[in-house]
Amino acid sequence: MIVIPAVDLRGGRCVRLVEGRADRETVFSDDPVAMAVRWAALGAERLHVVDLDGAFAGEPRQTALVAAIARAVAPVPVEAGGGLRSLEAVADVLAAGARWAVLGTRAALDGGFLADACRAHGERIIVAVDARGDRVAVRGWTGVTDQMVVDVARRAREAGAGALLYTDVSRDGTELGPNVEATAALARAVPLPVLASGGVGRLEDLARLAAVPGVAGCIVGRALYTGALDLRDALAELAHAPVAGHPRSEPGTRTPRPSC
C-alpha cells in the first residue's frame, strides 16, 4: 500500500476541510506548488490533488494550478479531481498533466457519462465513492443521493475504471481513524483496487489499512499537515508492514507504473 499526500486547492491556497464542510477550513499554505514539491521530496510516490472550488461550483476552477503542480513534481504522478462533470473537463485535466482523473458526482449520477469517460480514458479514470453511511455523497459532499456505495462501485468496475477511491465523509479531516470495516467490505465486494481516504491520524491507522486485501493506497491529508503523522515515518512503517495478499493490480492501472 502506498501513502498518497492530499493537496486540496481552494482560492489558490492549500487547505483542509473537516467532513468536507466549506465553513470548517484550515489554510496550511499559500503556495500549493511548494507544498506538493515538499511531499514529493520526502518520498511520496503519488499526489492526490483536489480542486475544491471546482467541486463546489460543478466545473473545474484550478486546472492551471493542477498543471503547475504536475510539472513541479514530475516524474511523481498526480491524480486530480474536483468538478470533473463533463468529458471535456476530464480530457482537460489529463492534458494538464494529471496521470489519473478522479470522477465523483456525475459518475455516481450518470452511468452513461461514466461509461463514456472510461471508454475514452480507460484505467486513467478513478471513481470516487464518497460515503455518508451506505449512500453516496455528491456535489462537494453537500448532498446525498439514493445511490448505494457498492452499486456505484460495481458500475465503475463494469465501465472499466482503474480504481475506486473510498472516503467516509464523516471521518474526513478528523484524524479519528479510518473506517477500515467499510473499506474492507467494499474491497471484498468489487474487484478493483481501492484507495482509502478519511480519518487517518496515526501510523497504526496505516498498518490496519495495509493489512486489508485490495487496499492499494491511502490518501492522507490533515495528519500530514498538522504533524500528527510524519510522511517519512509512514513510508518506513509501510515498507516493513506485512503485504496483504491480493491478485489485483496497483491503483489506477493494471500495468507496471513507472514511478509508483
Catalytic residue among 51, 130, 168, 172: 130
Q: Per this entry, what is the length of the chain? A: 260
146 is catalytic: no
CB 80 within 8 A of CB 51: yes
Distance, CA of 84 to CA of 106 (rounded, Å): 8
Q: Compute CA 236 distance to the chain's CA centroid, rounded to the nearest angstrom.
A: 21
Active site residue 130: yes
Residue 77 contacts residue 100 (beta carbons within 8 Å): yes
Backbone angles phi, psi at 168, to 5 degrees: -85, 105
Instruction: Return d(Cα 46, Cα 217) in angstroms, integer.
Output: 10
Nearest to 22 by CA among 86, 82, 64, 78: 82
Active-site residues, by number, are 8, 130
